[in-house]
Homo-oligomer: A and B are copies of this chain.
Amino acid sequence: MSVEPNYFQQYQHADIDELADAIGELLQNPITVEDADHKLIAYSSHGDSTDQARWSTIMGRRVPEKVLTRLWKDGVFQELLTQDDPVHIPAKDEVGLGKRVAIAIRRGSDVLGYIWAQEVNRPITREDDEILRQAARVAVPRLMQRQGKRKAEEQRRKEFLWELLLGNHKSESAIRQKADSLQMQLPTSYLICVIEAAGARLDQYLYPLLMRDKLLWVVDGSQIILLIGLNEDGKKDVREVLIRKVEQFLADSLGKLEAHVTEGRQVIAGYGLGYSTYLEIVKSYREALHALKIKKLFPKENEGIYGYHELGIYRYLLQLKQWEEEQGYKNERLEKLRQYDRDNQTALMETLETFLDAAGKVNVTAQRLHIHINTLSYRLRRIEEIMRVDLENMNQRAALYLELKMAKLDQEQ
């Protein structure tokens, strides 16, 4: 293996624009340098032939939204954010983007910006990768200064989010003012989503997602807390559709995440209701945490469910349980059935739970239990006798359902 030359030795202390020109000379192609927020930082002056995307970027001092969206969609940024090597990108004519190569400028796990090299004068091959790698390294100190400010601001924003989550602010207008002073534009509507992973570094894992949607987020131990905006354009219907869209999106990506990361460790997520005033962020946060807690306690029962409002009776369960304990209420019916099961080595409790879970449908229940329908019918009659309940009565059935799930709380945990 040959020793690679040090392409940018004389540019260690050069201006960032000079660096762009130098890369452009080496690759014989137009170069653009952006920060992590895709704001233009420098560009090579040499190139005369360029594409629509680069032209718009330079004129607007930022990469057009349309282009960014497309690149996120195609997974280009996901690649850039997770690897050190340059990424070769085919042309995307619909958004006026010619063929090019890009590399992330990174320091540790932080991405400070990107270098883009367009392919117009000559193709950029794998041999050129080292040039870009070195260029990315050399660009780091230059971007650090900018990043420093951004980081500090980011930090202050995160602190502000914590204040909001903990309910430290007492007036909506004060919140708006502080948000303005931090140059944050709070979404008109929002919800809080909390994701928890036992050992994984979630923020790293979620980086593409966080960057793409410019989400406001903070980390708390093994949890990451996201503020997700629901910007309503106008009518109420729109807002509802939007919420549902976000819910859909969350359910999708959280589902994927769960499936993806489950290499030994567990990922759980939950989100609260959507609100419009930021005094209520405390509620959304509390709701998200509650959903998370319930999902930990009843993983199977709440598979595919993330929203607090979707929890159904589980939303009440902990509260009810606590209340029962305070009152010192002892539920004899369930205990009697459990005792019967122990004495006779039967499975009436399981039968009852399956039956209730199946909303009283006998064939479903029998199938799930792998028993004959008449066996089920016999068992149900037996259960009614032993517990003295009427399973046809909705009040009793619902109460039993609640009691059963409550009982599982101290049984399994």
By a beta-carbon cutoff of 8 Å, the part of chain A in contact with chain B is 273, 280, 283, 301, 311-316, 319-320, 323, 327-329, 356-361, 392-399, 401-402
Contacts and interface: CB of A to CB of B under 8 A. Distances in A.
Contacts of A392: 359, 361
A170 to B, nearest CB: 16
Nearest to A401: B398
A313 B311 CA distance: 18
Given A283-B327, A328-B283, A313 B398 contact: yes
Nearest to A315: B399
A327 B275 CA distance: 14
B319 A394 contact: no
Contacts of A393: 312, 359
Contacts of A273: 329
Contacts of A396: 312
A402 B316 contact: yes
A273 B329 CA distance: 9
A251 B402 CA distance: 26
A311 B402 CA distance: 13
Going nearest first, the 8 A-B pairs with the smallest beta carbon separation are: A312-B395, A312-B399, A359-B394, A398-B398, A313-B399, A313-B398, A312-B396, A398-B401
A283 B316 CA distance: 23
B401 A394 contact: yes
A319 B318 CA distance: 13
A139 B401 CA distance: 63
B312 A319 contact: no
A342 to B, nearest CB: 16
Nearest to A301: B395
A320 B356 CA distance: 22
Contacts of A356: 394
A273 B331 CA distance: 11
25 contacts: A273-B329, A280-B328, A283-B327, A301-B395, A312-B393, A312-B395, A312-B396, A312-B398, A313-B399, A314-B395, A316-B316, A316-B320, A316-B323, A319-B323, A356-B394, A358-B394, A359-B360, A359-B392, A359-B393, A359-B394, A359-B397, A360-B360, A360-B394, A394-B401, A398-B398
A312 B358 CA distance: 20
A393 B357 CA distance: 8
A359 B361 CA distance: 11
A273 B357 CA distance: 29
